[in-house]
Amino acid sequence: MMKLLITGFEPFGEHHTNPSQVLIKTLPDAYLGITLVKAILPVHAALAPAQMVKLLETHKPDGVIAFGLAAGRAKVSLERVALNWLDFSIPDNAGETIQHKLICEDGPAAYFSTLPLDRMLTALNSAGIPAEASLSAGAYLCNQVFYTLMDTLAQHKTAIPAGFVHLPALPEQAANSKQPIPSIGLEKILAAAFLMIEILGSPANT
């Protein structure tokens, strides 16, 4: 039976809710015969990467989709690139900020996502879920976990589909934000996750 690792993040900064956390709590334990191993990562630069590594070692998944929040984006963003770079001034939940630092001193500058992004984009937009490809996952913990994920798989020569997806804010967050940020409903986020899981489980990728 296929097993996918699906991760989200805790709330952080001014965000009292994280749609990726809500998604993880809402997803079932299995879908279309695929086992879903679900985990919520801490927004803690010193801990989150190690948890991702441990999840990979413990569960040996057949594929990984990591989710996070990118408040301000209007569409579900399928990230193409994990960058070897940490640079953030919004403190993580341990109160830390990091400037201009490599994630992995001797790692490559970047990894490409190994998810079937183009198939996923077509499927999402055809289903009426606003989705786009993105060339930068930022330099916050989302990118850190994404880079760690791809670097760990590369180190172990594990050729499974893996990548990162940024979610817009939820309507409830946008309703209470000072700036007019876009949002997307939980039902669309769920539909997006189900579609991406279905694509990973479909013959073309197994």
CA dihedral 66, 70, 75, 79 (to 10 degrees): -40
Q: In sequence order, what are the residues at sequence separation of 6 or more whose Cβ sits closer than 8 angstroms to the Cβ of residue 27?
A: 6, 36, 38, 190, 193
Least gap, CB of 4 to its own copies (angstroms)? 24
- Told to check if 85 binds its own copies by CB under 8 A, we report yes
- Told to check if 112 binds its own copies by CB under 8 A, we report yes
Q: Which two tokens stand for residue 108?
A: 């490559």
104 is a catalytic site residue: no
Residue matched to tokens 């334990």: 29
- Told to check if 124 binds its own copies by CB under 8 A, we report yes
Bridge partners (DSSP) of residue 9 are 41
CA distance 25 to 21: 6
Q: For its own copies, which residue of 6, 45, 63, 80 counts as binding (CB under 8 A)?
A: 80
100 is a catalytic site residue: no
- Told to check if 114 binds its own copies by CB under 8 A, we report no
- Told to check if 136 binds its own copies by CB under 8 A, we report yes
Please pick, among 16, 79, 156, 198, the residue that the annotation labels catalytic: 79
- Told to check if 30 binds its own copies by CB under 8 A, we report no
- Told to check if 157 binds its own copies by CB under 8 A, we report no
Nearest to 145 by CA among 72, 61, 60, 42: 42
Give Dmax over CA atoms of the chain in angstroms. 46
- Told to check if 176 binds its own copies by CB under 8 A, we report yes
Active site residues: 79, 142, 166
- Judged by the rule CB under 8 A, the positions of this chain that interact with its own copies are 73-75, 80-81, 83, 85, 100, 108-112, 118, 124-132, 135-136, 138-139, 170-172, 174-177, 180-185, 187-188
